[in-house]
Structure 1
Amino acid sequence: MSGQSELRINTEQGAVEDPGRRNLLRLSGVSAAALGAASLLPTPNAEAHTMTNDWDKVFPRSANVDHQKISFKNRYGITLAGDLYLPKNRANGRLAALAVGGPFGAVKEQSSGLYAQTMAERGFVTLAFDPSYTGESGGAPRNVASPDINTEDFMAAIDSLGLHDAVDRERIGVIGICGWGGMALSAAAVDKRVKAVVASTMYDMTRVMSKGYNDSMTLEQRTQTLEQLSRQRWTDAERGTPNYQPRYNVERKGEPFMIDYHDYYMTPRGYHPRAVNSGNAWTITTPLPFNNLPILTCISEISPRPVLFVHGEKAHSLYFAQTAYAAAAEPKELMIIAGASHTDLYDKMDVIPFDRLQSFFNQHLAA
C-alpha cells in the first residue's frame, strides 16, 4: 500500500517494528482487508466495553421494531454482546430468526445492525452481535480475530436465538456481511440448525490473508510473512502483551476500494469508535491462524440448504463470491447488483436488495 511510513521499535508504547513491517502487513492481506497503515497503537488494556443502553448506532432507530441489548456465551466461555430486534406488531406465535454478523472489523452498531433492524421490520427476529474480543463483547487481549472462534460466534448467536421465546428454533438463518460472509458459510457448513444463508459482499478472510488480493502472493512472500509473524510471537511473549498493527491512515488515498472503506468507516456515514476499522487496529499476529485454516473447505456440505450470494458488480471483492458460488452445491444463487461497489452493500438502502432477502428467507424459513 502506498503512503506507509517506516516503522521502528518503540517498546515503551507497545509499538513495533522493523522497516519490513509494512511489507509484512501488505503481504498478509489483513492490513488492506481490515484497513491498515500509518501510526502504531498502544496495547488496549480493557477486556471489553460495558454495554450501553444508549442508541449509539450509525443508523436511525425504527419505530416498527422493539430493540433490546442482550448477552450470551460462546462455547469458549466468552461473553458476546448483541442487539436483539423484534417486529413490534408481532403475533404470539414463534417467528423465523436471523443471526447477522459483519463486516470484518466492524461492530453491531454499523452494517450488521442495519441489516438486522431492517429484516426485523420485515417480520423476523434478528440478532446482530459483536465478535469475540471486539466491540462490547468480552475476551482479552482486545482486537483479535480467529477463523475458528469467529465461526463459533455465529453458532453461539444461533444458540441464543433458539432459546428465545419468540423464536421458532427450526426456522433460523444467517446473514454474513463482508468477511463475515465467509464466517456465515463456515458456520452453516457444520451447524445443521442453519436452514438458509445469505453472504452479502463477502470476503474469504482466510484466502485474502494467506494468498493476498487476487491470489497474488508468491510462495516466497508467504514464507516471509509467516517468518515475521512467527518471530513476532517471541516479541509479544517477552512483553506479555501483543503488539498491534498500524491503524488506518485517515487520509483519503490509496486504492479506490480503500477510499471506499475510508468513506464508510472514517466519516459520519459509518464511523463508530469501537470498530477496529474506525481508526483502531488488530494485533499483528492476527493473520497467523487465517493462513492454514481455510474456512470454505466444506462449503458444498451446506446443501441441501440454500445459499444466496449478493455482491456488487464493481466490487473489488466480487471474485470471492464467484469462487464460493462455484464451490457451493445447489440450491444456490449469485445475485450481482449492477453498478454497486463493495461498501455500497454495507448501508445503501436503495442498493441492498432487502426485498430479495425477505423473499429468500420467507421461502426457506417457512413454517
Structure 2
Amino acid sequence: MVDSTVLENPPVPRHERTADMTVTPVPFTFTRDGDRLVGNLFLPAGDPTAVVITTGPLTSVKEQAAGVYAAALAERGFAALAFDHRTFGESEGIPRQLEDPLGKAADISAAVTAVQADPRLAGKPVVAVGVCAGGGYMARAVADDTRIRAFAGVAGVYPDGSGADPAVLARGRAARELRESTGEILSIPAVAADNGDVAMPLTEAYEYYGTPRGAVPNYTNAFAVESYEHTPGFDAQEAAARLTVPFLLVHSAHALVPPWARAFYTAVTTPKSDLWLNSQGQIDFYDDPTLIAPAADAAAAFFTKAIG
C-alpha cells in the first residue's frame, strides 16, 4: 500500500471541529540503565485506541514538540507519552545534554516496556511518532523493537551517516576523554542569535529555542560537545529497509533535507503513506496549528488502520 497526499492549504485544525479536548496529562516515570526518566502521559477521555510514544528534536524536552504531538494524539483518542530523554530536562543521566541517537532509541524501548507494564494501558497496541531528529531516532527504535506496531515521522530528519567530519568526531572524542579523566563536561549552546559555535546554526531554530516561543522552563540551551562522537555518523537510512510495520511520512518541501525524507520513504517496503504539507520551514512544525492538526489527523487515521 502506497498513499501520497499533498496539502498546499491545510484545513482548519481538527481541534476546532470535532476532536475531544478532554485530555488529562499525568506524570509518568520509568528507568533505563538505572537512570530515572520523567514524562507526561496524556490520557483521552475514553478508552484509548492505542498508546503513542513520541520523541522530539535535537536537545528538546517533553514540553516542546514531543508534548505538542502527544497532546494532539490524545485529543484524537490515543494515550500518548512525551518524556525527557536521558541527560535532558527532568530526567537523570550524565553527561548532561548528551545527544546520543542510539541512546535515545534505547530510551524509547524502555518507554515501550514501561507503558506495556502500566495497568491503565494493558493490552493496548503501541505506535510511535518522531519529530525532526526524533524521526531518525524513532526509525532505529522501531526497526529494532518489534513491539511497536506503526510509525509516523513528522518533519523527520533521516541522515545516512556519510560525510562525518573527522575533526568533529575528534572534538567529541576529546570532550569525552576530558570528562572521563577530570569530570569536566564541555558544552556549547544549542542555539545563539549569531549562529556561531552552536549545535543548531539555524536562525529559525534560535527564533524557537532562544526566545519565549519555545524556551520553556524545563529546557536548557546547551549541547554536550561529547555528542559529536555520536551524531555526525548516525545512520537512520539503514533502518528504512528493516522496518516491518506501516510507516507514515509527514514532511514539507521547505522542511529540513527533503531528499533524505524521500530516500527513506522509497526504501521502506512495508505499507506506507506520505503527506506533504506547505510549511514555512522546519520549526513551524513544532508549534503551528495549521501543520500540527493535519499531521495529527493523518497519524491518528494511519495508526487506527494499521492496528486494525
TM-score (norm 1): 0.71
Of residues 224, 228, 235, the one that matches 1:287 is 228
User: What are the ranges of 5 or more consecutive residues in structure 1 without an aligned counterpart?
Assistant: 1-61, 212-216
1:351 aligns with 2:305: no
Of residues 138, 144, 150, the one that matches 1:184 is 138
Shift of 1:317: 2.7
Amino acid at match of 1:106: S
* Kept after mapping to 2: 8 A contact 1:170/1:193: no
SS at match of 2:178: helix
1:321/1:124 CA distance change after superposition, 3 Å: same
User: What are the ranges of 5 or more consecutive residues in structure 2 without an aligned counterpart?
Assistant: 1-19
Shift of 1:298: 3.2
Matched ranges for 1:48-59 at <5 A? none
* Kept after mapping to 1: 8 A contact 2:140/2:239: yes
* Aligned residues between the structures: 285
Match in the other structure for 2:35: 78
Shift of 1:275: 2.2
* Kept after mapping to 1: 8 A contact 2:143/2:239: yes
> Which structure is higher in strand share?
2
- Structure number with higher relative contact order (C-alpha < 8 Å, ≥ 6 residues apart): 2
Shift of 1:170: 5.0
1:164/1:230 CA distance change after superposition, 3 Å: closer
Shift of 1:346: 0.9
1:163 aligns with 2:112: no
Shift of 1:281: 1.3
Match in the other structure for 2:15: none
Matched ranges for 1:140-219 at <5 A? 140-169=94-123, 171-204=125-158, 207=161, 211=163
Match in the other structure for 2:213: 269
SS at match of 1:298: helix
Q: Distance in 1 between matches of 2:177 and 2:41?
A: 41
Q: CA deviation digits over 1:227-279, x for unaligned, max 9? A: 3433344433443222112452235899x982211222222221123324xxx
Once superposed, what is the RMSD of the aligned Cα atoms?
2.5
1:95/1:107 CA distance change after superposition, 3 Å: same
Q: Distance in 1 between matches of 2:133 and 2:246?
A: 19
Of residues 247, 255, 268, the one that matches 1:307 is 247
Percent same amino acid at aligned positions? 27
1:245/1:165 CA distance change after superposition, 3 Å: same
Higher-Rg structure is: 1
Q: Distance in 2 between matches of 1:202 and 1:123?
A: 23
TM-score (norm 2): 0.84
1:331/1:135 CA distance change after superposition, 3 Å: same
Match in the other structure for 1:226: 169
Higher mean C-alpha displacement, 111-120 vs 283-292: 283-292
